[in-house]
Amino acid sequence: MIPNVLSIAGVDPSGGAGIAADLKTFAALGAYGMAAVTAVTAQNTRGVTGVRLIEPGFVAEQIDAIFADIRVDAVKIGMAGTAEIAAAIADALVRHRARHIVLDPVMVAKGGDRLLSEDAVAAVRERLIPIAEVVTPNLPEAATLLGVDEPTDIAAATEMAGELKALGAASVLLKGGHLAGPESIDVYFDGETLETFRAPRIATKNTHGTGCTLSAAIAALLPRLPRLEAIGKAKAYLTGALRAADRLDVGSGHGPLHHFHAMWGTFDG
């Protein structure tokens, strides 16, 4: 069965993050991608210059239209933008009994531009995290959600994963990319199982959309694989996309990943 996966996120016109990254990831991993737009941004590889938010009721209307007609096997939630949009997403997904929800609590773009309003942090914490099967914050996002300092080592990150799990998600994948060291170590915790996912740190500035891509990959794989196996394969896919990123020539800032690194082969030199 080819899974149908819905991305609820913002639009990055440069194609590196948000819905564009999600749809590429879904396709690369053999899933049919769909999208409900929460915001339209003006951005490129160097940063965000503008954001236009979609009216919350229309975000819900997009979601309703998909569920009214199409079997939805998994959902990835990215940029919510405001408390009202977060609440509209939560209400719609609960109403439709959505399965395999992966939440990437996007707060700041790669260039440092804030993408989530202050009041929306509480809504993400109280409305979206409790309905998620997997929540995938990086260390700064996790610190903001918990109102604590960012961890600086794997032991502190492991403790933080437990605190995040207490917010209500079925499981947490705390991304450790901001920690120092030769490996990127992510910490998984579901209340019983504690697991680390390790990958070599790739030396590239082309890291735009890494969080979007990992969460989208998990969502694409969850309908077909056990959760830990889906996360492991998603992490391996992300590592491959990062390793091949320098084969692309897109922009002068933080460029995108190579989402189709395993497919394009002879066509990209």
Query: Which whole number is the average pLDDT over 16-23?
Result: 97
Interval 187-209 mean pLDDT: 94
Q: Which of 165, 152, 8 is nearest to 72 (CA)?
A: 8
Is pLDDT larger for residue 115 or for residue 59?
59
Better pLDDT: 67 or 267: 67
pLDDT in tens, 221-254: 999 999 999 999 999 999 999 999 999 999 999 9
Give the span between the Cα atoms of 236 and 78, in whole angstroms. Answer: 21
| Mean pLDDT, residues 9-37 | 97
Partners of 74 in beta bridges: 5
Per-residue pLDDT tens over the stretch 123-139? 999 999 999 999 999 99
Domain that holds residue 221: 4-267
Cα–Cα distance, 195 to 188 (Å, whole number)? 5
> Cα 87 vs. chain centroid, distance in angstroms?
18
pLDDT of the residue at 113? 54
Q: Measured between alpha carbons, how far is residue 252 from residues 48, 132, 208, 249 in Å?
A: 14, 35, 12, 9
Residue 184: what pLDDT?
A: 86
**Beta bridge mates, 188:** 173, 195
- Written as six digits, the tokens of 261 are 């690194």
Mean pLDDT for 169-184 is 87
**3-class DSSP state for residue 114?**
strand
Count structural domains, the chain.
1
User: Which residues have a catalytic role annotated?
Assistant: 175, 207, 209-212
The pLDDT of residue 120 is 87
CA distance 213 to 47: 18
pLDDT over 90 (residue 119): no
Mean pLDDT, to the nearest integer, of 13-33?
Answer: 97
Identify whether the C-beta of residue 190 lies closer than 8 Å to the C-beta of residue 170.
yes
Spatial distance between the Cα atoms of 99 and 11, rounded to a whole number of angstroms: 23
pLDDT of residue 267: 53
CATH value at residue 139: 3.40.1190.20
Neighbours of 267 (CB within 10 A): 7
Residues 6+ apart with CB under 8 A from 180: none
Q: What residues are paired with 108 via a beta bridge?
A: 114
Q: What is the DSSP string of 139-175?
A: HHHHHHHHTSPPP-SHHHHHHHHHHHHTTT-S-EEEB
CB 98 within 8 A of CB 77: no
Rounded to the nearest angstrom, the gap between the alpha carbon of residue 262 and the centroid of all alpha carbons in its chain is 21
Whether the Cβ atoms of residue 21 and residue 257 lie closer than 8 Å to each other:
yes
> With 60 as the cut, is the pLDDT of residue 29 above it?
yes
Average pLDDT score over residue span 168-190: 89
- What pLDDT, on the 0 to 100 scale, is given for residue 269? 47
41-55 residue pLDDT tens: 999 999 999 999 999
Distance, in Å, from the CA atom of 184 to the CA atom of 246, rounded to the nearest integer, reads 19
Per-residue pLDDT at 111 exceeds 80: no
How far apart CA 61 and CA 37 sit, in angstroms, is: 11
Residue 117 pLDDT > 80: no
